[in-house]
Structure 1
């Protein structure tokens, strides 16, 4: 069997045709919020209740979240673009203007997100240039009924029903 070389730009272009939801993964790092935006979140198992996401190995936020040992998946609504922008900022600018509350599990839960899923770190597996992170769900809630934020072809947007 021969290996085929896949062009990275073409890979991104083709896989970019598949829309994904947008989540912000949060934790506390020495009392300060740490977070990252991901489009790779998925449910994995009902028994035990597991969810997963794929942080890039070059992420500077993932090691802080991993060190915390638990995290919150904040499912973003279509009107939360400014939250995502703030969380992707570097250094002291990260989380500026982002409203959140600290949960009973000592996790930042972003205000007005569609849902919050609090997890303890279950496993981390190498997956090419990313990590495959599994979290065991400790608590979850739907915060509001609204349109989700989607990522498609390099842009953020929302769902529009066309039936």
Structure 2
């Protein structure tokens, strides 16, 4: 829209947090765990708001809640790895979504070039340095510069849709081609 300015008004009362969650739940998202190697050991949290942002320079974004106690500790490290969970990683997603527990108990991982954990069996991983942060309301929009990455094409990603885990059908299947 040419010449328009952003609205500074508050959202209509019909746009409640519950309505937003319900309506936007119709968008399938992937599930990632953002990890880092902190001074006292490995850190990590589950996140659904992840996206590729730019190819030149190579950037990604994700948005941790402002209430996250883990993101500020990862921010201090300055580098992190985004682990794109595979279809059988529901338990890993749940474990890294909890606060106050040993999220790495029973989890195998290897260090990315930054030292951040790459969880075993992930669909893909993206090693990054912190590029910038932006205000995102009740979340922080984090932009990371990609420094290294890798994928296992045989591993389907874990997805989340309307409050439940699922998997993405492989390209070329009937389910993927219905639209």
Q: TM-score range by the shorter chain?
A: over 0.9
Cα distance between partner residues in 1 of 2:101 and 2:156 = 30
TM-score norm. by structure 1 comes to: 0.93
> In angstroms, what is the RMSD of aligned CA positions?
1.5
Cα distance between partner residues in 1 of 2:124 and 2:21 = 28
SS of equivalent to 2:64: coil
2:36 is aligned with 1:33: no
Quick check: which has more Rg, 1 or 2? 2
2:94 is aligned with 1:85: yes
The answer to whether the 8 A contact 1:51-1:136 is kept is yes
Cα distance between partner residues in 1 of 2:153 and 2:83 = 12
Which ranges of structure 1 fall in alignment gaps of 5 or more residues? Answer: none
SS of equivalent to 2:76: helix
Give the deviation of 1:93 after TM superposition.
Answer: 2.4
**How many residue pairs end up in the alignment?**
163
Match of 1:53 in 2: 62
Match of 1:115 in 2: 124
TM-score norm. by structure 2 comes to: 0.85
User: Please, which of 124, 134, 137 is the counterpart of residue 146 of structure 2?
Assistant: 137
Moved over 4 A (4+): none
SS of equivalent to 1:91: coil
